Amino acid sequence: MSEGAYYLGVDGGGTKTEFVCIDAAGTVVARAVTGTTYHLEVGLEEAVSRLRHGVMAICGQLDIGPDALAFVFFGLPAYGEDSVIDPQLHAACQSLLRHDRYACGNDMVCGWAGSLGCEDGINIVAGTGSIGYGERDGKGARAGGWGEVFGDEGSAYWIAIQGLALFSRMSDGRAPKDVLHGRIVEALSLGDDLDLCQRIMGPGAMGRSEIAALASLVSRAAADGDTGANAILVSAAQELAALAIGLRKVLGFSSDARVPLSWSGGVLSQEPLVRDAFAGIIEATGLFSLTEPRHAPGYGAALYAQGLARRK
C-alpha cells in the first residue's frame, strides 16, 4: 500500500450523499456533499450525475484524477434490491472512475463500518429510511430496509406517515385533538385539514425526503406532551430494536454473547425520545452491548474502501 494512496468512501442517503477521502493513515484529506442518490426518488441519471459531481469535487480538492484513487466504495441507497438497476449503477461507477478499483454496496454498510470501525457487531440505521446491518466472522446480513411503501419501520419517513395518520384521526374525531394537529396545520399552511391530501398526494406533492422531515413535528409534539405522538416514537423504537434482535439470530451469535450494537442516522442520533426508548428495550434483553458510534457513516465508507483494498 502506497503512503500516498487515497481511499474514497461514498455514503449515499435518502437526504444527502457524503464523499469522504482518507489517506493511508486514516486522515481525512477531502470531503464533499451532494443531494440524495436514492435513484427511486431522483432517477438513475440524476443519481449518477450526483455521484460524478461528488467524485470530481474530491479529485478537484486533491488536484488528482479519478485514476489516482487507490480504492473507492460506493454505499448506495437501495443497492442490491434491483437486478436490473444494480448492474447499471455498477457500470456507471466504473465509467466515472475509469478503473476497476472500486466496489458497490448498500449504504447500510457505511453506517456499520463507521459506528463499529468495521468490527463484528450490528448497526441500526434510522434516517430517512431504516435498515439494520451486521457482520460476524466475515458473514454479513441485513434486516429491514424494504422501502417506504411497506417497510422502513422506525425511520423518519415512517414516523412522519404515522404522524399524518394520527392527524387525520384527530381531524375527524377518531382521536382527541392534541398538540400535533396544530403543528401540522401551521407547518403545512393548511387552510382546511383536507388540504393535507393535496399536499401529500396531489400534483407537485411532497417528495420522500420532504415527508420524512415532518418527523420532527411528531418529536416536538411528543416533547410537549402529546401522548399520541409519544406513542409513535415508542413504536418506532420497538421496530428498530426488532431489527437488531432479528439480525442477532440470523448472524448466529452465541446465546451468551453480548453483541456490540450501535446506530447511525438522524432518528437515533438526534431524537432522544426514540433513542432512550430504544436503549431501554435493548438493555432489557441482555443480549447486546450498546456502543456509541465511533465514526460517521461517511468516514466508515472510506475505512471500508481501505479494508477492501487490503484484501485485493
Domains and CATH numbers, the chain: 6-117+295-311 (3.30.420.40), 121-292 (3.30.420.40)
C-alpha 254/C-alpha 130 separation (Å) is 26
Q: What angle do CA 43, 49, 52 make, to 5 degrees?
A: 145
pTM: 0.87
pLDDT in the model for residue 1: 39
pLDDT exceeds cutoff 50 at 240: yes
Please name the residue that has the C-alpha cell 457524503: 18
Cell (9 digits) for 150? 411497506
3-state secondary structure at position 186 = helix
3-state secondary structure at position 18 = strand
How confident is the model over 68-75, as a mean pLDDT? 96
pLDDT digits (tens, 9 = 90+) for 158-196: 999 999 999 999 999 999 999 999 999 999 999 999 999
pLDDT digits (tens, 9 = 90+) for 293-311: 999 999 999 999 999 998 8
Provide the H-helix boundaries in 76-226: 85-97, 108-116, 156-171, 179-188, 195-201, 208-212, 215-223
How confident is the model over 262-274, as a mean pLDDT? 94
The percent of residues above 70 in pLDDT, for the chain, comes to: 98
CB 172 within 8 Å of CB 184: no
Cell (9 digits) for 254? 452465541
Residue 43, judged by CB atoms within 10 A of its CB (0-12, 13-18, 19+), counts as: exposed
pLDDT digits (tens, 9 = 90+) for 43-53: 999 999 999 99
pLDDT digits (tens, 9 = 90+) for 3-36: 569 999 999 987 899 999 999 999 999 999 999 9
pLDDT in the model for residue 25: 95
Residue 4 identity (one-letter amino acid):
G
pLDDT exceeds cutoff 60 at 203: yes
How confident is the model over 278-305, as a mean pLDDT? 97
C-alpha 277/C-alpha 236 separation (Å) is 9
The percent of residues above 90 in pLDDT, for the chain, comes to: 91
C-alpha 109/C-alpha 142 separation (Å) is 9
* Paired residues of 74 in beta bridges: 10, 104
pLDDT exceeds cutoff 80 at 244: yes
Closest CA relative to residue 38, chosen from 10, 2, 71, 79: 79
Q: What angle do CA 145, 151, 153 make, to 5 degrees?
A: 85
Average pLDDT of the chain, as a whole number: 94
C-alpha 15/C-alpha 17 separation (Å) is 7
pLDDT in the model for residue 3: 53
Angle of helix 215-223 versus helix 272-285 axis, rounded to 10: 80
pLDDT in the model for residue 19: 98
pLDDT digits (tens, 9 = 90+) for 147-156: 888 989 999 9
